[in-house]
Chain A
Amino acid sequence: MLLSVDSINVYYGRIHAVRDISFEVAKGEVVTLIGANGAGKTTILQTISGILQPKSGTIKYEGVEIQNKPAYKILQSGLAQVPEGRRIFTNLTVRENLEMGAYTRHDKEGITEDLKKSFSRFPRLEERRNQHAGTLSGGEQQMLAIARALMSKPKLLLLDEPSMGLSPLLVQEIFRIIRDVNEDGTTVLLVEQNAQLALSVADRGYVLETGKVIMSGGAKTLLVDERIKAAYLGGEA
């Protein structure tokens, strides 16, 4: 397993946000965590990347326990996060944002190479490479956030609600990119409220409710599950 999360508990003060959650991600997979607002999805991702600490439980990345490591160490070991709400550096240019994404790397030529690669994957970003990132549209900002994360050459990409606030057309494009990134060999852990969309790109999924996993299985199975349909897909069908 590339990532195994074993019964973690995370608190905000006295708020018990994540309760005994376990799941796994194998190399090459797209795994999704779906759940309504407040289910604990962001908390889980922040805990994996070391920005939050679990009170108990273990997180293993490539077989090594990482739950007590600081964020920068975890993110230097091949894990990248696209945070919720994009969080690009609005006063830096598009190019500088991408260079920040390669912060943990030291191979200058490789970085230049990957900068070219990300511009060919996101032509819109190339057109705007010297613009301040804050002047980009919502969709472009999301693309920048993904491109920035990819600049670190991650083995595992954590994506927090990439569809949030985007038009259906842009959402399609973002999800096409996610599939593309996965086909290039990057393992993806995708967190989404939009269950239908997430399950359509994922291999497997876990359904969260108020900090607990209530169901899990293959994406195709979950897509046709009556309970899920009722709870998450009903409104959209």
Chain B
Amino acid sequence: MKKSSSRVFKTYVLNIVIIAAIFIALQLMITNGVFNSYTSGLVVQIFINMILTLSLNVATGFLGELCLGHAGFMAIGAYTTALLTINSGLPVMIMFPLGLIAGMIISGIIGFLVGVPALRLKGDYLAIITLAFGEMISILLRTFKFTGGALGLNGIPRVTSFAYSYWCFIISLVLIITFMFSRHGRAILSIREDEIASEATGVNTFKYKMIAFVMSAMFAGLAGGLFAHFQGNLAPEKFNYNYSIDIMVMVVFGGMGSVSGSIVSAIILTLLPELLRGFSEFRMLVYAIMLIVLMIFRPEGMFGRKEVTYRVFRRFLKRNKQNKPVS
């Protein structure tokens, strides 16, 4: 089936309309007080977590490498952005977006430096190196004076609005989807499938592993920068391996290599602990049991590798239409 250019154009317009509509709807609910400040905060957290989950999905879902130090990259972005907005002397509204970009760049560079040794190794080794990297970052942040030591950073301007988190998410989403569903993305998928076969079809496997890994680190850095200016303070313990595992859980829960899965999973797993507050001390237990149940019944995650696309919708609608006269 060939897509006609008019259909491509229609899909394009539809996407923009949906993106704008969701933004306007949520923004109105926030400004009109339908969402109180707690709920609005949750909405921002959801968008930050969606960026975070998507970013890890690039390295773990699409590329297939088990990365256990993702919180480390997030921390680098968070501290870089926060230190810049606090110390630069420029107005926050100018420095914040620049700081986010700087955070992404620094995270990307560190990602590259970790990738050089780590990506030459496979499976368990890579998992251990990234785990060690994450711990190292957490320890270094506690040690350095300029990062505030064990006390962390306080008084970070809380400028991550809903609009910021939303548009950063949309930009990340568009960039990741465009890249992953291109020829380059296919090359990355082929590495996950079978590295030797991928090499045998002429893919520069090391280069593509590095690109995916650095991309993953950069978007984690972006999520970190947003997080820092949402929270208003940063504590080094926050970014230890527990947090890396939490992010990994979101990816696995949604489905490795599924963008739709990452989005839905970030929403559910951000809301769930809040909804379970009634269970007080049993909260984490209930959460854990739900994860175990999902992994038993759907080990590939909610979406597996599938995506929700307009084509799926159209097929679904068509099927319903065809079924109606029969029933």
Contact = CB atoms under 8 A, between A and B. Distances in A.
Interface of A: 49, 51, 70-72, 75-76, 80-81, 83, 87-92, 96, 99-101, 103-104, 148-149, 152
Given A92-B189, A100-B186, A103-B187, A72 B197 contact: no
A89 B201 CA distance: 11
B196 A75 contact: no
Given A91-B305, A96-B186, A103 B201 contact: yes
B154 interface: no
A206 to B, nearest CB: 22
Nearest to B187: A103
Given A72-B199, A99-B186, A90 B193 contact: yes
Nearest to A70: B204
Contacts of B27: none
Most buried by B among A87, A88, A99: A87
Contacts of B190: 89, 92, 100, 103
A83 B193 CA distance: 14
Most buried by B among A71, A80, A152: A71
B196 A87 contact: yes
B83 to A, nearest CB: 40
Contacts of A70: 204
9 contacts: A71-B199, A72-B202, A87-B194, A99-B186, A100-B198, A103-B187, A103-B190, A103-B201, A152-B201
B97 to A, nearest CB: 37
Most buried by A among B187, B190, B194, B205: B194
4 nearest A-B pairs in the assembled complex, by CB-CB distance:
A75-B202, A87-B197, A89-B193, A104-B202
A80 B202 CA distance: 8
B203 interface: yes
Most buried by A among B196, B201, B204: B201
Contact of A72 (B186, B205, B305): B205
Interface string B188-221: 0110011011111111110000000000000000
Contacts, number: 61
A13 to B, nearest CB: 16
B193 A91 contact: yes
A94 B279 CA distance: 49
B305 A148 contact: no
B197 to A, nearest CB: 4
Contact of A83 (B183, B196, B202): B196
A99 B201 CA distance: 10
Contacts of A89: 189-190, 193-194, 197
B197 A83 contact: yes
Contact of A88 (B183, B186, B197, B205): B197
Contact of B201 (A90, A91, A100): A100
B200 A75 contact: yes
A35 to B, nearest CB: 21
A103 B193 contact: no
B1 to A, nearest CB: 10
A144 to B, nearest CB: 11
